[in-house]
Chain A
Amino acid sequence: MEHIVIIGNGIAGVTTARHIRKLSNKKITLISAESEYFFSRTALMYVYMGHMKFEHTQPYENWFWKKNNIDLVHGYVDQVNPEEKVVTLSDSTSISYDKLVIATGSKPNKFGWPGQDLDGVQGLYSKQDLELLEQNAPNNKVCKRAVIVGGGLIGIELAEMLRTRNIPVTFLVRESSFWNGILPSGESQMINEHIMEHHIDLRLNASLQEIKPDENGRVKSVVIAETGEEIVCNLVGLTAGVTPNIDFLKDSDIELGRGVKVNRFLETNVKDIYAIGDCAEQHEAIGNRRPIEAVWYTGRMMGETLAQTLCGNPTEYRPGHWFNSAKFLDIEYQTYGWVFPEKTKMDNEMHFHWRHPHKKLCITIAFDQSTQIFLGINTFGIRMRHEIFDRWLTEKRSIDHVMAHMADANFDPEFYRTFESEIVSKFNVQFGKNIQTQKKSLKRIFHIA
């Protein structure tokens, strides 16, 4: 029986294992140093905030793995030996494989800042990071102030977490506005306001110069490069992005770039070794995607795809329309298709932006100026239906069609106020059109002829 060994029990590795099990009787071994059982990484923040206990983050009950005949090994892989087809764990046990899947995820970026390895300086990625945070910042007596470096999704989550324990937070964002490498300016501005509304000391155009230690080798303060200001703190959260967690492969023959280099079949340069999830790097980016996609959904999709290949149905990784989501404190964010910020968008990409006069709600819709084809939407505080936007993207619908049928895409809970008419009338004024909004149609939504 073929033995498939998967290193990493995150969403990518676990999805692969589950799908292989659905398709075959192959022997499957999942190795993880991080946790005994699969948990949802994205939910770690809720454990610190007291919304959930750690066991609630585990999507499957503990008996699930045995019942589905998936062997779990709790250990750290030191070495991969492709010639003998063996992986060696740090306790020197070795496990031989027929096919090897590398799904080891990411680790927080450290850019060589002075003091980045001091006590009290940490990232937020793994279960161990969360445990460390409980030690470094259990309450506002131990941690009188925290400084977060890096204005991305993890940074704002860490800020939210610390605020639930009333820990004062200074949030250093290198850019001139929060996450404006991804978000158009109107949205980024709204999030800036929301961050400050939560009493987070947001510093834009501020990057880290150095972290200063006290006499015990713990963090004492940080210095901001642009202003030279020194901020006294007990915790520094490094949240300036992540990088593939592949150091243990350095001496293997597997080709590495920033991540593990893979082709469209998710194969590495070594036969029978594959890489998926955050740690995989495409030789060439797919469409507008980045070569390394450190996103929950893409990890899962690669897992779904690779399981097919491993079970005799060679399948390329060809993800569909881009989508993603996040939550910025109280504001939910969803995106379907592509909306680029002003800096990086193409000349033909037109934006229509609408923001509610006083609530924290806004959307930005991108469309092609010449063809009028809908390209994508960012939505904040208004939930949208994935299926509808996916369909519109596939059908290459025009911006006018999208505007007229916005009600079909709304996914807010029942009885919520809707804003389609405000949105469309602003669009009509701005672009000199006369689009009439159509009523929500269950027939269209559920695709009934």
Chain B
Amino acid sequence: MNTIDKSMALTGQPPQNLTLGQKLATLLGISGLGILLLAVFNVSFPNKGLWLSISLAAIILGTLWFSWEAYANKIPGIKNDGVWFKSISSRGLWGWVAGLALTGFYIVLYFYPEYLGLTGDGDNKGVIALFDPLSKLLSGNAASQWFVYGTLYTVAILAFGIKFLWKYRHNRYERLRTMSVMFFQMAFAFLIPELMARLNGHKILNGGSLPYYDLKNIWPLNYYNFEGYRIKAFLSSGNIGFALLVFGIVSIFVITPILTYKYGKRWYCSWVCGCGGLAETAGDSFRQLSDKSLKAWKIERWVVHSVVVFVTLMTTAVIYSYLGNDTSKYWLTKSTFLIGVGILLTLIFGWIMLFKRKQLQKDAQYGAIGYFVIIMALIGFHFFSGEGYVFLFKSETLRKTYSFLIGSIFSGVIGTGFYPIFGSRVWCRFGCPMAAIMGVQQKLFSRFRITTNGGQCISCGNCSTYCEMGIDVRSYAQKGENIVRASCVGCGICSAVCPRGVLKLENGPLEGRIDSNQVLLGNDVDLMSLVNQK
């Protein structure tokens, strides 16, 4: 019904054209990217350190300048004017161009790093060589395609993080959360692992080498953490290596459940996680593109929980493949490991079925199917697998398939490349096994909920529109029902954009956490109690 034509402007709709400052800022940012692109095409820069600095500075300053122009002179408040008129944020031409460019970048990064200048042996070329000085400064080693990616990723989170801080400067929850993701990306994902690499070969590691380890990257998001080569590296690196391995296990079985119980999975997904961090900062302009239909929710549940089953099987198979059979050599053998996994899963599944069945309703059937598949497979491993084989597949094949399909295609190419098409949390919603596991816990056993403020909802739909996880928040709010959804990452934007102060993210008692009312607060009290009786 809008008579407005979608504009080709990156942001801004006539009469809100880009300001002169924003045009110059765009030019600055693009020129920074341009330097990287020239490097890709093997233009040789004389002083690589200097040119890399110029390039990254131009990208960061361009983004900041653009954002400053956009928000500085406005009164603090919700800044969604024209979101659906702008080509870039409403699946217009620029949206598709950006989507294709990002997707292309990921395909090259994952599958053709030689085009970025990776030579395998000998010195780096191209854009990877441009990053050598920075990499040497941090870890002492030459750059890889992953270092290039990690640097750009961190730059994106920092620059767009500051944009987000300005955009939501009236909202302390959003500000603190964003500072948190910026910190964890900068420190944990980027600097610490690079600096830790300097310890490799050092005597405090007993001369061993630690694997590259982003400490906040927890299994099963970090699906490769327990692969043979990493375990060897951990175990060969003295007490520190062993401590890190223990930390990796403790973070799955102790830290994650406790924090998710207390605060919901938001403690991770929108405060710590790097995937979430990128989605919340660089992806913020695309959050409204997520699909809110019931159908999408159904697909989401099947897909994401299948990934959980897949990653559990894959990891079990991988660990199984390098364990031995001889109890005298090491207490953990192939069969004790399988039995252990089986018991653990049975305990979890049994607990859910016994105590939480009511909250699961028919989803329980799907849970049962998933559980059954895993247990059967475990039995299968035991009886039908030979050395290094799981059924007929090599465990290595299973691992490679997961790494290709889920690790690369899903989380990278689709998850991030398609930001401008499917919204910013496609990976987190449909693919991330870590989010799925914490989601089950959030739904069944957590103090977190989004409280609906009595009868104040006017069904306007801002909350649903801006939910990056595709939750139809309004459908709960307009019933006076609290929002307790497995997929909610607690970004808090629904609460921020609500014009009537209806939604509040909070941690409270489990009792009465979900309450659907047919008649809402504010009506005849007798009618309310009559109708709401269940």
Contacts and interface: CB of A to CB of B under 8 A. Distances in A.
Contacts of B533: none
Interface string B79-104: 01111111000000000000000000
Interface string A311-323: 0000111111101
Interface in A379-397: 383-387, 390, 394
B257 to A, nearest CB: 21
A198 B75 contact: yes
A387 B454 contact: yes
A57 B499 CA distance: 14
Interface in A38-77: 40, 42-43, 46-47, 49-54, 56-59, 61
A416 interface: yes
Nearest to B170: A330
B504 interface: yes
A50 B13 contact: yes
A54 B1 CA distance: 8
Given A51-B84, A59-B459, A198-B75, A138 B523 contact: no
A131 B3 CA distance: 9
A435 interface: no
A277 B38 CA distance: 65
A413 B294 contact: no
A383 B453 contact: yes
A348 interface: no
Interface string B515-530: 0001111111111100
> For B84, B170, B492, B509, which residue has the most chain A Cβ atoms within 10 angstroms?
B84
A414 B1 contact: no
B454 A323 contact: yes
B294 to A, nearest CB: 6
A412 B453 CA distance: 11
Contact of B1 (A131, A139, A316, A384): A131
A50 B83 contact: yes
A57 B465 CA distance: 9
Interface in B1-28: 1-4, 13-16
Nearest to B4: A138
A271 to B, nearest CB: 23
A332 B84 contact: no
Nearest to A323: B522
Contact of B518 (A19, A139, A332): A19
Contacts of B526: 318
A301 interface: yes
A274 to B, nearest CB: 16
B506 interface: yes
Interface size class of chain B, counting residues whose CB lies under 8 Å from the partner chain: 35 or more
A325 interface: yes
Given A323-B454, A413-B505, A414-B505, A57 B521 contact: no
A413 B172 contact: yes
Contacts of A127: 1
B456 A325 contact: yes
B459 A332 contact: no
B139 interface: no
Nearest to A22: B518
B82 A413 contact: no
A417 B170 CA distance: 11
A27 interface: no
B508 A59 contact: no
Interface in A239-284: none
Given A134-B3, A305-B523, A386-B456, A415 B176 contact: yes
A50 B509 contact: no
B222 interface: no
A335 B100 CA distance: 49
Given A50-B80, A51-B84, A138-B4, A446 B509 contact: yes
B2 A448 contact: no
A141 interface: yes
Contacts of B458: 40, 42-43, 296-297, 325
B511 A320 contact: no
Given A49-B81, A413-B495, A442-B509, 15 more contacts: A46-B461, A50-B84, A51-B78, A51-B80, A52-B84, A297-B456, A297-B458, A304-B519, A304-B520, A304-B531, A325-B458, A325-B501, A386-B521, A390-B454, A411-B501
Interface of B: 1-4, 13-16, 75-78, 80-86, 170-173, 176, 293-294, 451, 453-456, 458-462, 464-465, 474-475, 478, 492, 495-497, 499-501, 504-506, 508-509, 511-512, 518-528, 531
In the A-B complex, list the 9 residue pairs whose CB atoms are closest, starting with the nearest.
A386-B454, A330-B77, A383-B501, A43-B460, A50-B82, A318-B524, A40-B459, A327-B499, A415-B172
Interface of A: 11, 19, 22, 40, 42-43, 46-47, 49-54, 56-59, 61, 127, 130-131, 134-135, 138-141, 164-166, 197-198, 296-297, 300-301, 304-305, 308, 315-321, 323, 325-327, 329-330, 332, 334, 383-387, 390, 394, 411-417, 442, 445-448
9 contacts: A11-B459, A43-B459, A134-B4, A198-B75, A315-B524, A332-B500, A411-B501, A414-B505, A442-B508
